[in-house]
Structure 1
Amino acid sequence: MGDVPARVVLRDVGPRDGLQNEPPVPTAAKVELIEALGGTGITEIEAVSWVHPRAIPQMADAAEVWSAVRPRETVRYSSLVPNVVGAQRALAAGFTDLEVVVSASRTHNLRNLNRTPEESLDAIAEVIELAHTAGARCQVIVATAFGCPYEGEIEETDVVGYALRALADGADSLCFGDTTGMGSPPRVRRVVGAVRDRAPEAEVALHLHDTRGTGMANLVAGLEVGVDHFDASVGGLGGCPYAPGASGNIATEEAVYLLHELGVETGVDLDHLLDVAATAERIVGRELPSRLIKAGPRTRLAAL
């Protein structure tokens, strides 16, 4: 494959991005999933969000979940915040890694956050300042970076412009979200490449969905342009409540399997992770879209 990262960091977003799209899951089950993921070798977990319960009732117990989790020193736990108030709650709970979102699509941003992208970026600057004052990191996620179900094509200059604005305001890292699975390898290469040209030292991550079957192809495209941080969700949990037709994130176990086949290290125990994916299926009470749960890795042989 040429010059790709030798090691990749995967952030499992199942406990937050995955479970927020399911019927409400008991607090104890959320804690079980977070702690089980921490034992797989995953080094980053998106644990909760601090969105108002009227907007996302599935995350209403964020404080209770986090107070019950036994954090591992080897894992970096992050939480999604919608605004300064959410950031204050996350910091008070002890989080040192925050994520905040702006959509490159004006329509999606208005539906999701009731603000224009410009208004969101103004508020994000306040969140970044608050996080840094508290000694925390803040990642800015640019959602609908590769297309919008309401607007269709999104100008790549807009996506890049919002990302560069976030960096200028002090964002510690960027994440480009393929919120509805409209991305393709050429689009990933162009957007990430344009940011790399303007801000070569920026830490860039990709949040990929597999709505149209291109999730893993987009992961490989990201590798090819030097991305070494990816979001994925155990079992393929996930979607987007404000994006019609958006299916789950790429499955963490499938990403691990592919990366290992490509010779890229993740530090994740795949067999253990598959056990946790089965746990996730039990917790939500339905079959998850991950194909690897069913087929297993190619080293799993059939009984004679």
Structure 2
Amino acid sequence: MKLPNRVTINEVILRDGIQLEDKILTVEDKQELVNLLLEANLTNLEFGSFVHPKAVPQMANSGELYELIKEQKALNLVALIPNLKGAETAATHGVKRVNFVFSASNTHNLQNVRQTTEQSLERLKDIKELCKENEMNLEVSIATSFGCPFEGEVPLNRVKEIVNKVTELDVNVITFADTTGMANPKQVYKFVAEMKRTFPKQSFNLHFHNTRGMGLSNILAGMEAGITSFDASLGGLGGCPFAPGATGNVCTEDVVHMLHNMGIETGINLDHLIEASKRLKEMIGHDLSSYVLKAGKSDRKYSVSAEV
């Protein structure tokens, strides 16, 4: 197995993680989670989204949260933006890193942002110009890269054509997102290997959902193909509000536990991460899908009862 010595984890609990939750976290709740993640030495955080509050009310206080945490030098903070208006709002708050999301699937993109994929690519040019004027780093996430719940298979060549247009704008990172958990490890390896071969100078990140239980195996396939940066969500919360059955991001503590057991560094304190997940469970008010939170770390030892 060809595996990296170190992997970067990008935490998305405060955006993708909570955007489907019935309970809307206050800005104080979110700030508490940020502090707990800092204690766990987590450094990369998608703190929210500048989307219309009627569409995703859970994100309505993203600007307020940024004002509270922007001086945390240990954090690399990024905001999701769905359009130029979102980028403009981010700029007014002084956000320096934004992630523009659109879909490889036309049908999903129309459901999500009411534009075709081609229209989103045109908007990306305007967003790039605004980011340049405001000294903002621009990243791009391509949703439904591995399949669409409405269209089914998304051809690899279609995604390559999109990436070719995106790379012409010189964006920092391109994320391939498995929006509804349709990917499998063989597909991921082939997909990533082809992207790295075709675009050797471009930095890539992967975003998997665990909807069908293949999140960790897909991360392993991504690592074998040469990716060293992955999104994950504390407690395994999350999903896309515009795609049926999309619940369940790959769980941060499960990912970190797997990587550490394999001798791959993340810089994250797993014990503190588990404590953060416990607090998240209290805030949200229901069980989480985290395996490590339920079973404990694999090096946990149990006492033998007298009856055994």
Deviation at 1:283, TM superposition (A): 1.1
Contact 1:102–1:120 at 8 Å: present in 2 too? yes
Flag the structure with larger Rg.
2
Residue 155 of structure 1: aligned partner: 155
Deviates more, 1:63-72 or 1:285-294: 63-72
Cα offsets for 1:171-208 (capped at 9, x unmatched): 11100000000001122122222221121011100001
TM-score of the two chains, using structure 2 as the length reference? 0.95
Determine the C-alpha separation between the residues in 2 that align with 1:71 and 1:291. 33
Residue 145 of structure 1: aligned partner: 145
1:9 matches 2:39: no
Deviation at 1:62, TM superposition (A): 1.4
Determine the C-alpha separation between the residues in 2 that align with 1:211 and 1:52. 26
The residue type paired with residue 201 of structure 2 is E
The residue type paired with residue 97 of structure 2 is D
The residue type paired with residue 142 of structure 1 is I
Deviation at 1:139, TM superposition (A): 0.9
Cα offsets for 1:127-163 (capped at 9, x unmatched): 1222123222111101001111111111111112112
Determine the C-alpha separation between the residues in 1 that align with 2:190 and 2:107. 23
Contact 2:179–2:240 at 8 Å: present in 1 too? yes
Deviation at 1:70, TM superposition (A): 5.8
1:285 matches 2:285: yes
Q: Return closer, same or farther for 1:70/1:128 CA change in 2, 3 Å cut-off.
A: closer
Residue 269 of structure 1: aligned partner: 269
Residue 228 of structure 1: aligned partner: 228
Equivalent positions of 1:148-227 (< 5 A) are: 148-227=148-227
Deviates more, 1:294-303 or 1:227-236: 294-303
Residue 22 of structure 1: aligned partner: 21
Q: How many residues align?
A: 303
Determine the C-alpha separation between the residues in 2 that align with 1:59 and 1:246. 18
1:243 matches 2:243: yes
Deviation at 1:69, TM superposition (A): 2.5
Determine the C-alpha separation between the residues in 2 that align with 1:72 and 1:150. 41
Determine the C-alpha separation between the residues in 2 that align with 1:35 and 1:79. 18
Deviates more, 1:122-131 or 1:286-295: 122-131
Partner secondary structure for residue 9 of structure 2? strand
Determine the C-alpha separation between the residues in 2 that align with 1:206 and 1:132. 25
Contact 2:51–2:86 at 8 Å: present in 1 too? yes
Deviation at 1:87, TM superposition (A): 0.8
Equivalent positions of 1:61-80 (< 5 A) are: 61-69=61-69, 71-80=71-80
The residue type paired with residue 259 of structure 1 is L
Determine the C-alpha separation between the residues in 1 that align with 2:67 and 2:300. 38
Partner secondary structure for residue 4 of structure 2? coil
Cα offsets for 1:263-293 (capped at 9, x unmatched): 1110000000000011111111110111110
Matched-pair identity in %: 39
Deviation at 1:108, TM superposition (A): 0.4
Cα offsets for 1:45-101 (capped at 9, x unmatched): 000100011111111111222222364212201000111221121122122110011
Equivalent positions of 1:11-50 (< 5 A) are: 11-23=10-22, 24-50=24-50
Deviates more, 1:68-77 or 1:225-234: 68-77
Contact 2:36–2:272 at 8 Å: present in 1 too? no
Partner secondary structure for residue 230 of structure 1? strand
Contact 1:160–1:191 at 8 Å: present in 2 too? no
Contact 1:40–1:269 at 8 Å: present in 2 too? yes
Partner secondary structure for residue 46 of structure 1? strand
Contact 2:206–2:230 at 8 Å: present in 1 too? yes
Partner secondary structure for residue 21 of structure 1? coil
Q: Which sections of structure 2, spanning at least 5 residues, go unmatched? A: none
Determine the C-alpha separation between the residues in 2 that align with 1:260 and 1:182. 26
Q: Return closer, same or farther for 1:209/1:276 CA change in 2, 3 Å cut-off.
A: same
Cα offsets for 1:224-272 (capped at 9, x unmatched): 1110110000000101111111121111001101111121110000000
Q: Return closer, same or farther for 1:70/1:139 CA change in 2, 3 Å cut-off.
A: closer
Determine the C-alpha separation between the residues in 2 that align with 1:97 and 1:225. 27
Determine the C-alpha separation between the residues in 2 that align with 1:39 and 1:160. 39
Residue 102 of structure 2: aligned partner: 102
